[in-house]
Amino acid sequence: MTETMKAWQQAAPGLTEENLKLVDNVARPNVAALKDGEILVRVTSACLNPADYKVLEMGFMSRAAVKFPKVLGMDLSGIVEAVAKGSTDVKTGDNILGRVDPMKAHGSFSEYVVLSREDYAVLPQDTDLDKAAGVPTTGMTAYQSIKPYVKPGDRVFINGGSGEQEHLVYKLRKHSDAIITDIVTELKAEGQIYDLVVDNVGNSPKDFFSTTPGFLKPEGRFVSVGGSASLDTFKTISNGLLRPTFLGGTPRKFVPYFTKNVREDYEQLAKWLADGSITTIIESTFEFEQVIEALKHLKKGSSAGKIIVHVSSKT
């Protein structure tokens, strides 16, 4: 087995189309170095998300956030190549879906990745691996931004979100013990009727959080998911977390959302994917050598579904 592998890697912050390179001599993870709970995965499919390129294009903020050289990507599906000693719930040859921590140097657009126990879930062998690769980040965001904050009967307002995310949110509502009973995507002037607001956009409309007392219950929560790296986004988060109401702060609970790898959440998503409760809308597929083309397509912003890249054979 060779000691190197191919991966789409960027040496420094900058536009991905100009700086991302397919490198064929990246060090391959060493099986002997696997720690307790870790697995080595041969990546079969990887999914492109806007955050994948944004984290590489923030200039000095990119250097503060991630380690370079950085391999592109978070979401993946693949086949287990090796398992650390002591792991009993996964074996060589299993299919998995998983997510790489975007702040680490490695990424999903490589031939092999190492995942810890919290980073993945085992799939039935007949699961479509392209569809599985599209689940982790979008699925976890839809699930984790809502599940902890609501109870049956609560009303939830969703501000924006991709078509794929909206699809998953509706599916999750139907198949999660009635966690959500009402979702709207256009705000209506009906008074303080919402128990939870999930903002997938980030400061659009402008100063959106400051308007929430008009429609969010006093005990309700505002979960901030979206937002690019900008001064407006920074101001929104700072005001939401730090500015007291007596100094003009908004009298509602502000919750910044960050996707967290949680094994039981991945297992739930994997179960729903396997039984057809949720699915992935795939807009287009590309081969591993076509990642730059895939990124350009993603940046057009017109995709109604996921962009999947085939990294290696599914057998």
Q: What average pLDDT is seen over the chain?
A: 86
Residue 204 in any domain: the answer is yes
Which strand ranges, in their side-by-side order, compose the sheet holding 253-256? 182-184, 155-159, 194-199, 216-224, 253-256
For residue range 216-264, list pLDDT tens digits in order. 999 999 999 875 544 455 555 555 555 555 444 788 899 989 899 999 9
Q: What pLDDT is stored for residue 200 in this prediction? A: 82
Q: How far is residue 202's CA from residue 205's CA, in Å, rounded to a whole number?
A: 8
Q: How far is residue 207's CA from residue 230's CA, in Å, rounded to a whole number?
A: 14
Co-location of 31 and 113 in the same domain: yes
State the residue range of the domain holding 164.
146-256
For residue range 48-84, list pLDDT tens digits in order. 999 999 999 989 889 988 999 999 999 999 999 999 9
Q: How far is residue 221's CA from residue 150's CA, in Å, rounded to a whole number?
A: 9
Q: Is the pLDDT of residue 169 over 60?
A: yes
Co-location of 24 and 124 in the same domain: yes
Q: In the beta sheet, which residues pair with residue 9?
A: 21, 71
The region of weakest confidence among 7-16, 146-155, 200-209, 210-219 is 200-209
Co-location of 239 and 158 in the same domain: yes
**57 and 46 Cβ atoms separated by less than 8 Å:** no
CATH number of the domain bearing residue 199? 3.40.50.720
Whether this prediction's pTM lies above 0.95 is answered by no
Residues 153-175 have a mean pLDDT of 70
Q: Which residue has the higher pLDDT, 142 or 94?
A: 94
Residue 52 in any domain: the answer is yes
Matching residue, tokens 């702060």: 249
Q: How far is residue 43's CA from residue 108's CA, in Å, rounded to a whole number?
A: 7
- Domain total in the chain: 2
Distance from the Cα of residue 78 to its chain's centroid: 17
